[in-house]
Amino acid sequence: MAVKIRLARGGSKKRPFYRIVAADERAPRDGRFIEKLGTYNPLLPKDHAERVVMDLERIQEWLGKGAQPTDRVLRFLDAAGVAKRPARNNPNKAEPGAKAKERAEARRQKAEAAAASVDGEGGITE
């Protein structure tokens, strides 16, 4: 049985509230869990003490047993100094996709053709 430390959503519509839980990875997101390890309230300000509340001792025990935290929970643990989140490097992040490159190339060729036609007519050249 693979255990994940993840968020289970609660609260009402448009008013999210999350429990940090240890759960079987096959269980539904908001369904059965093994143990509640803390809470996360995204509606509170980032510097508020009650925004993220975790039982760090129990979380460390679960990590020692091989539980895998999700990316969001790993961010919380990194901020608390319990676990280290590896740095990500995506050098192609800002590069446009293939279709966007094709559209840009077509736009550039169209602009060059328009500029050549204006110059070729003997109109506005200096």
pLDDT grade, residue 120 (50/70/90)? low
**Which pLDDT value is given to residue 124?**
58
Contacts of 65 (CB under 8 A, 6+ apart): 3
Domain boundaries, the chain: 3-80
The architecture in CATH of the region 3-80 reads 2-Layer Sandwich (3.30)
Tokens at 78, concatenated: 């990194």
Residue 1 pLDDT class (50, 70, 90 cuts)? confident
- pLDDT digit string, tens, across residues 3-30: 999 999 999 999 999 999 999 999 999 9
Average pLDDT score, the chain: 90
- Do strands 68-69 and 3-12 pair parallel, antiparallel, or not at all (unpaired)? parallel
CA–CA gap between residue 124 and residue 119 (Å, rounded): 7
pLDDT reported for residue 23? 96
Residue with tokens 């039982």: 55
pLDDT in tens, 77-95: 999 988 888 888 888 888 8
Q: Please give the pLDDT value at position 33.
A: 94
**pTM of the predicted protein model:** 0.69
Q: Check: CB of residue 60 under 8 Å from CB of residue 82.
A: yes
